Structures are given as C-alpha cells and as structure tokens.
A and B are shown apart, each in its own frame.
Chain A
C-alpha cells in the first residue's frame, strides 16, 4: 500500500516537473506561445504564412486568454506571450525578476469595442455620446427616450422603454478596453468601478464571451451590450456611432480605429504601451486598443531567439497586409517604425540576433 502511494506520488511530481523542463531545454525550431484569444486568427495566419517563408519556423500558439499569456511568459514556459491589455507595473517587475530580462511589449494590431443594441423598429445607426454611455452603464440613464439620448439623435423616435444593460461576464481584454474608455470619459466610473478585465457592473446582466453577449442582446428587446468590432462585422450586427474627443460621432471601422492610433502616436513612449481609448484628433474611433506580443529581451536559446525576432519583424512589416482581411486594424506606419526599433533590442547573451 505504501509502495503504491509512493509510486503514484512520484508519478504526479514527475509529470509536473517534466513538462517544464521540456519547455526550457528543448532546442530546435519549434516556438511556443500563449495568450490572448482576440488576435488568435491573425496570429495563426501569420504563423502559417511565415512557415512558408522559413521552414524552420514552426510556431505553436495556445489562445488561453491574456491573463494566461502573462502568467506563462512570467513562468518562462513559453517563448512569447500575448495580451490585449499591457502588463501593469507589478506584473512587469515580477516577470523581469523571474526571467532576468526586460520584457518587451510589442503592439501588433488594433482592435475595437462596439456598442450593439436591440431596438425593434429602429434600423439606422444611433449616435451615443461617451458620457451618455457611461451613465447608461451606471444605471443613471434608465430609459431609451431620455433627453440626452434624444438630443444626439433628433430624427429617431425612441420608445419609452427601460434600457436592458448587458456586459461580458468572463474576464476579457474586451472588458478591459471598454472599462478603460469608461474610466477616461467618466470620473465617477473610474472612482467607483475602475478599469479591469473583470469589473463589478452596477446594473445589467452578463453573457459569456462575445457570442453570449450577442445572444443576450438579440434576445432581449431594448437591450444594449458591448462586443468586439470583428465579431460585430462578421455577424452583421448593428452598432452605435460613438462621440470622440473632438465631438464627432464616429462609425467604428478599421480605418477609424487605425486613425485613433495614428493621431496620438507622439504620446507613445519607448515602452510602446499606450492606451488609445478616447484618443484626440479628427476621425478617431474612441473605443480602440492595441494588442501586444510579450517577448523577453534576453533570449535563452540562440536558434529560437533568432526565429522569434525575424518572425516579429516580418509580422510588423510584410504581415500587415493580412490584417484587414481578417477584420483587424493594421498599425499605422508611424507605430510600426517605433515597434521595429524595439524589436532590435532582442538579443542572446548580449549579442544582437
């Protein structure tokens, strides 16, 4: 009996320990990555196309979520991570101490969050001011025929119905982008609810995933919810024009999202992490955001480091052309240049790759 339990114990420990060792010591061309689900389609397209160019570059990516991507790059179990929200100071510190290397956060593409709604009988895109959106999500504007909604849509006849608020209940980059936007346009939101992948919404009900929120909005008359732009485009959902910092009502599109990033490229510091919600300048859609690749500056393996570096460079330049077809907004050229400079820092034992 004792013998058996020892056997079982050792089996469990070996299987845990073994995996980690394989990930660290494995040589050769295969790269492992993990992280955000949002950019997964474009990343797998890139891996695929890049493999056609370099037959040594076999890249494997697990879309386990941004939080998982940050955890795994911190633990050193993957060659690169991916996250929709930049790592916060505490996460960066922990990851850098553990890996003995700086963490580079490289923006790859842009995404956006749109407000979709279910208003029977109203087919055109409605206009929503950002403060109005915040007040709807704080339960202060309760009805569709509120004066502040009517003011921005003079030719729409809103019903005297209660607004049914829907939100994402699973932790997600989408919620992070959305609450980042709300925090910027409403000090009260920032104070009481904050910016995070999970927040406590004061009103409404939650759906799981983009499909869950969409399901709720489709089923519940007079509801409103927020989802990813790509998902809304693919499923031909209607969405609101949102008022930006300049007071224009902007229809979410790949162009208006790229525009938001381009308008504030001057504010981007060397770390490349920058929130582009509520960006200034004409034509910018206010609920936009970068998604990032997380890469260690000091690579632990010569061959894999070299492949990783050339892949990222390729993705930022030649890879750009695949973005729009898949529904992602490509980085403006100004950002690509900054990102490329950052990628050059990747090295092995102090020697550039």
Chain B
C-alpha cells in the first residue's frame, strides 16, 4: 500500500516539477511549441514538432518490425521446437534484453549503418524507390536505421510476454482443437486469437521502451530537427534532444523548452498507453460478449 502510493506520488511530483519548470517556455510559445518545427537555440526559437514526429514514427515503425518477429519467435518456442533447443534459444533472446543501449548504439553505427548503406537501402531504393519513404541519399544512418535498432531492442520484451501469455492458455483448449480435427496451424491460430489482449499488452510495453530509448537512437538517427517523408533522412527524438542539449543549455528559455519537451514525452507516452488500454478493454469485452 505504501509503495503503491509512493509511486503515484513520485509520478505526480515529476509532472508538477516539469510543469513548473517549463512555465517560461509555455508562456513564450504557447501551443505553437507543439506545432512549430523551428528549433534554434541561438535565436531562442523553440518548436518541438520534429522531435514528436521522430519519436512517434521511429517507435511505431520499430513495433511494426518487431511484432511479427516476436510473435513468430514466441510461437516457435512454445509450440514447435523441442525441449533441448528451447532453453538455450530463449536464454539467448533474454540476453538481448540485458545488453546496454550504448552497445546497441555503437553496434548500430559501426555494423548496422554500413550494412544499411551498402545493402538494404540501395535495394529498397531500386525496388520501392518510387515511394516517398525511400527517396533521398542513403547515408546508412537515419530514421529507418534507428527503427531497426529499436525493433531489436524491444523484441525480447514482447517475445517473453507473448510466450507467457501463450503458456497460460489451457492445454485442454488445444487438445479440444486437435480433437475437432484442427491442423497444427489452426490450433496455433486459435491460441493466438485467445492471447491477443496479452500480445497487445506486450506491444504496449515494448512501445514504451522504444519511446523512452535515448542512447542507441541518438547514435544512429542523425540528430537533425527536421521532418521529412523519407525514412533515409536524419531525424531527432524527444529523449535524444533532452539528453544531448540539457547539460550544456545556457539560456533559461532553452532549459525551460527542453523540460517542456520532457512534459510532451510524458504526455505522448500517456496517450499511447491509454489508447492501448482502451483497445485491450474493447477486445476483452467483445470476447466476453460472445
């Protein structure tokens, strides 16, 4: 009870503190802060739109890449593979979660970025180059590379939870499906259908991690406060700009603006979380209603 309350208190404290410290930026820029894409510390003009864009797009893209992989891995580990392989495999995946993000960042810049530049991006450009997402010079770093790094980082979380959810489905159900003449694939489909609210919850957790990730992203995203349709172009995220500029921010307005970015980051996380909650809620109600 005490600990539960203390968490609420801490969250309230953080919000109140950020609200108070960002007062200057809010007074000067108002709502324009969220819709302006001008970020120039020298002229003291601040607008957070490019960072919001970068955070949301990179995280959603990461989830989009990671979700099928995670579900596939979880199903494989739970339903298909034999016991001898299962333990080492799941151990390896869990180890992915323990790697510090700075290591991911360095790996991203020294291994993934050249690979993206020399192989993946030219390939995408030659096949899907007519889409606006794949235009521009392939530098190797940029929004797409950051999303891929994030996808790798959130895969272990989503996989682990999806596995647990699948495990929780009673064996009797599976046996019943087989008894009715379902193929293995149909049985898995049924299990996944039953586990969907749990999988959704897992995605939310993964997304939360992706939104807050700082170090690895900052190493590969290119750190440029601009909005571009192309996924090859450099972008910037909210967490990265705070980490990069806060220590050396000199003007009061600059500090205050960075704190407001933090507040927005909080709000974005909150909105996405509640949206996911709502989704889970409507899902479960539908199944119960049947």
Contacts and interface: CB of A to CB of B under 8 A. Distances in A.
A277 interface: no
Interface stretch (A42-50, A201-209, A341-349): A201-209
Contacts of B13: 12
B186 interface: no
A169 interface: yes
B250 A215 contact: no
Contact of A200 (B6, B42, B106, B234): B42
Contacts of B245: 170-171, 198
Given A169-B218, A196-B41, A199-B42, A4 B2 contact: yes
A88 B251 CA distance: 11
A67 B2 contact: no
B248 A67 contact: yes
B41 A200 contact: yes
A275 B2 CA distance: 56
B249 interface: yes
Interface stretch (B84-92, B193-201, B219-227, B263-271): B219-227
Interface range on chain B: under 10, 10 to 19, 20 to 34, or 35 or more?
A: 35 or more
A208 B244 contact: yes
Nearest to A87: B250
Given A194-B43, A215-B219, A205 B224 contact: yes
Interface of A: 1, 4-5, 8, 12, 64-68, 70, 88, 91, 162, 164, 169-172, 193-201, 204-208, 212, 215-216, 219-220
16 contacts: A67-B247, A164-B139, A170-B244, A171-B41, A171-B248, A193-B42, A194-B42, A196-B41, A196-B42, A197-B248, A197-B250, A200-B42, A204-B224, A205-B142, A215-B109, A216-B141
Interface of B: 2, 5-6, 9, 13, 39-43, 106, 109-110, 113-114, 117, 137, 139-142, 218-219, 222-225, 234, 240, 243-250, 254
A-B pairs, top 8 by smallest CB distance, nearest first, are A171-B248, A206-B223, A194-B42, A169-B223, A205-B222, A65-B247, A170-B244, A67-B248
